[in-house]
Every structure is written in structure tokens, then in C-alpha cells.
Amino acid sequence: APSLKEALAEKILAEQERVKALKKEHGSKILGQVTVEQAIGGMRGIPCMLWETSLLDADEGIRFRGYTIPELQEKLPGAAPGGEPLPEGLLWLLLTGEVPTPAQVSSVTEELRSRSALPNHVKALLGSLPAGTHPMTQLAQAVLGLQSGSKFAAAYDAGLHKSRYWEPVLEDSLDLIAKLPEIAAIIYRNAYAGGELIAPDPALDWAANLSAMMGFREHGALELMRLYQTIHTDHEGGNVSAHATHLVGSALSDPYLAFAAGMTGLAGPLHGLANQEVLRWIQHVTREIGESPSKEQLREFVWATLKGGKVVPGFGHAVLRRTDPRYTCQRVFAQKHLPDYPMFKLVSDLYEVVPDILTATGKVKNPWPNVDAHSGVLLQYYGITQESFYTVLFGVSRAMGVLAQGVWSRALGLPIERPKSLTVDAMLDRVKGQ
């Protein structure tokens, strides 16, 4: 059976031809127009990037290589039959476009295990940071700490032909994905367990090992981590973490440099940090009005948040216009594993209360919950209570999506990214007479 690299190599030639033909036959055709509003408004909706690993539909939500989340839960092998998918299987799918067999998934688990050893200087780096350094800042620093081992940077220095860039980029990507669980676990144990580290368990899969090294080994926690790590991997190319990784990678900065940029973007409260913000907001609610507030009390609280000039974290999206299927699958998980948990009840009540209020503001384009509205409550249930850590778990998962695309970006020879900016005067000049 072909290895991951061989299965990928088989796909690359055909896709290179397809992209070449697309450019040659349709290169001057129009994908969309760009308005002044879009240029000022965060480039919303401008179709201007090639991203192969996933595609987001405003109503339906994300598809990974054409598959919805429920389809992946059915098709991707789990740790046990009927269990949540193993993220290693999704990595195979993202890289090759094919649903892997259980044996192929095991081969990825093995491959990652063989690459997982963390250099001592990275452990020392993490140990040297002042207490209270935000876990996302630690994550970005640890990733940069690994950069000295970049095989792509070394191969580039040695003069590698550009047709082969994707090979050391794949090496770096697998090395980095393999090491992230231990990095995350060290950040967690340093911050919340007095620095008492737990060694990796070679009998566990990649996501379960992450949970176990953090100190959480019960069955439900492992299943949650597998699901969590699967659904946060990729959300097409325009979101801040994906786009930042893509942009920096386009300068031929190696995968460590590119991914660190993605992680500093994920650390923003309007993006990945929203999962921390949601938990803090919910805790604020329960502190102020108790664990089982009435819907009327919740409505007042939501309005107070809005009137304070703040966003309601976990709701809204730049592309989605319906409930995020990543939210829905976490809700289904909660219904199965923790139906009576009071915080889940609160999250469910917010689902009923918040959208009407956001709609009533008349300006929020999507009043529905996103992935971050739910994830924290599930983690709380299993004892992972430190919300400032949550975005790290998001980041570990995000590596699979953005690095898989990074391999493809180099395989397809995508150029340095360089959109055009305009001054206000230049915009006025361009729209004159329209």
C-alpha cells in the first residue's frame, strides 16, 4: 500500500495539469468584481485565492475535500467502530483528496509518532517564559523555536529545484503536526499543573495522546478531543489563520514561520480566541444571574453586552449565514454525552435567545452561533476548565488544514501573494464618472 507521501505524489501531477489548463483556457475570465465597499470592508466575499483542502458554503457550512462533517463522522475510521473520527484520517483526506482505509490512518498515526520527539531547547524555551504568558503566545514561540530544524529552509539554502519544494514542505508539516500535541500539553501542564509533565503514551492515537499528556484520559475526553481536533482543522482559505499562513508561506518562508503567523492571527478575539471569550462571557453570566437564568434574564444580559459596545462572542460569521455545522456536531456530542450538564442547558438557551436579538440590531449579517459558541462547555465538562488555553487546542487542529494546503501551494507552484492596495484618493480617482 502506498505511504501518505506516495499517495500524495500520485495526485500532484494530475492536479498540476488541471491548474495549468484552468489558467491557460480560462485565465482571463471573471470570478467576481471588487467594489469600494469590499476593499474597505476587509475584502469580504472577493474570490481571489486558490485553496484546495476545503470549501465553505454560506448556508451549508464547511466541506472538507467535498465531505460534510456528518459524512466524515460516518466515513473516517475512529478509534473504535462508531466512534468519533481520528484526525489522522482527515489529514490523509486533506492531503490526498481520498478517504483513507483504517490501515492508512494507522500508518499516519505511526508516521506522526515517529516524528513527535520535541527538542530539549523547545522544552527549555517554554519553561523559561514568565508565568502568565498567554498560552497562544507560548504556542507561537514554541513553533518558532522549532524553526531551526526546518528541512525546507535547509533544502532551499542548498539550492533545491522548485519543482521539488513540496517534498521538504511536507516533511516540515508532518514534523510540526507531530510535535504540536506535546507542545500544547507542556504549555498546559506548565501553566496549570505546576510543570509536572506527562510522557506521551505510544499506545494512543495523536489526539488522544494530546488529551492524555494534558492529564485527561477518560473515554469521553478522548472522544471529544478526536472530534474537536477533526472539526477545527480547516475552514477554507480566507479566515485570518489560514490566510496568514498562506500569505507568509507564499514568500517561501518555511512551514514553521508561516504557521507561527497563522497562530498569532488565531490569537485574536474576533477569530480563534473567541472560544476563550465565550467561556468568560458565560462565566460572567452565571456570576451575575446564576447557573440557571431565565430566558428573559439572558435577553437582558445580551442586550447589555451589545449596549456596552462589545460583541456577543461565539455568534456571527464573515461567510456563514446559518448555524455552523461545527456547532451542531458539538451540540449532538453534548446531547449524547452530557445532556443534563447545566452549562450545556445555558448554551442551548443562548441558541434560542441570541439570534433574535442580533437580528433585531439590524446590522449583524449572521445571527447564528459559530464553532466557538460550544467548544468551551464541552471542555469544561471533562475538567479542562482553563479557558485561556482553549485557543491552543484550536491551533493544534488548524495546523492540519493550513499545512496540508501549504504542501499543495508549493506543489502547484503558487506565486508570492501580492494584492493591490489603494489610497482614498486613488479610490476616488478610480470611481470618478461611474
Which residues are catalytically annotated? 271, 317, 372
**Which residue in the block uniquely carries the three cell numbers 482527515?**
90
Interaction pattern, residues 361-380, with ligand AMX; x per rule: CB under 6 A: --xxxx---xxx--------
**Which listed residue (94, 318, 384, 399) binds ligand AMX by CB under 6 A?**
318
User: What's the min distance (Å) between Cβ of 351 and ligand AMX?
Assistant: 13
Judged by beta carbon, residue 116 or residue 370, the one nearer ligand AMX is: 370
**Which listed residue (72, 108, 177, 274) binds ligand AMX by CB under 6 A?**
274
Judged by beta carbon, residue 200 or residue 369, the one nearer ligand AMX is: 369
User: What's the min distance (Å) between Cβ of 361 and ligand AMX?
Assistant: 7
Q: Is 285 in the site for ligand AMX (CB under 6 A)?
A: no
**Which listed residue (51, 256, 259, 315) binds ligand AMX by CB under 6 A?**
315
Distance of alpha carbon 224 from alpha carbon 228, whole angstroms: 6
Q: Is 272 in the site for ligand AMX (CB under 6 A)?
A: yes
Q: Is 385 helix (H, G, I), strand (E, B) or coil?
A: coil
Residue 383 C-alpha cell reads as: 475538567
Q: Which residue(s) pair with 315 in the sheet?
A: 369
Distance of alpha carbon 80 from alpha carbon 406, whole angstroms: 31
Q: Is 414 in the site for ligand AMX (CB under 6 A)?
A: no
Please, is 258 exposed, middle or buried when counting C-beta atoms within 10 Å of its C-beta (0-12, 13-18, 19+)? buried
Q: Within 51-164, where are the H helices?
A: 69-75, 87-96, 102-114, 120-128, 135-146, 151-157
What is the amino acid identity at position 321? R
> Is 105 in contact with 113 (CB distance < 8 Å)?
no
**Which listed residue (246, 271, 331, 410) binds ligand AMX by CB under 6 A?**
271
Give helix then strand counts, H and E, for the chain.
20, 2
- DSSP at 164: G
Q: Is 360 in the site for ligand AMX (CB under 6 A)?
A: no
Interaction pattern, residues 292-311, with ligand AMX; x per rule: CB under 6 A: --------------x----x
Count of residues touching ligand AMX (by CB under 6 A):
22
DSSP per position, 180-192? HHHHHHHHHHHHH
> Is 141 in contact with 125 (CB distance < 8 Å)?
yes
Touching ligand AMX, residues 235-254 (CB under 6 A) = 239
User: What's the min distance (Å) between Cβ of 157 and ligand AMX?
Assistant: 36
Judged by beta carbon, residue 101 or residue 359, the one nearer ligand AMX is: 359
Touching ligand AMX, residues 329-358 (CB under 6 A) = 358
Q: Is 279 in the site for ligand AMX (CB under 6 A)?
A: no
User: What's the min distance (Å) between Cβ of 235 and ligand AMX?
Assistant: 7
Q: Is 168 in the site for ligand AMX (CB under 6 A)?
A: no
Residue 284 C-alpha cell reads as: 460572567
User: What's the min distance (Å) between Cβ of 266 and ligand AMX?
Assistant: 8
Q: How many whole angstroms from its chain centre is CA 209?
A: 19
User: What's the min distance (Å) between Cβ of 373 and ligand AMX?
Assistant: 7
Contact segment (CB under 6 A) with ligand AMX among 45-53, 149-157, 289-297, 359-367 equals 359-367
Q: Is 261 in the site for ligand AMX (CB under 6 A)?
A: no
Distance of alpha carbon 74 from alpha carbon 69, whole angstroms: 9
Touching ligand AMX, residues 30-69 (CB under 6 A) = none
Give just the sign of the alpha carbon dihedral 93, 96, 102, 104: negative
Cα dihedral 78/53/38/31 (nearest 10): -140
Distance of alpha carbon 198 from alpha carbon 21, whole angstroms: 51
Judged by beta carbon, residue 56 or residue 169, the one nearer ligand AMX is: 56
Contact segment (CB under 6 A) with ligand AMX among 68-76, 137-145, 207-215, 314-322 equals 314-322
Contact segment (CB under 6 A) with ligand AMX among 62-70, 219-227, 270-278, 329-337 equals 270-278
Closest alpha carbon to 370 in 320, 314, 306: 314
Report the interface residues with ligand AMX, using CB under 6 A. 239, 270-272, 274, 306, 311-318, 358, 363-366, 370-372
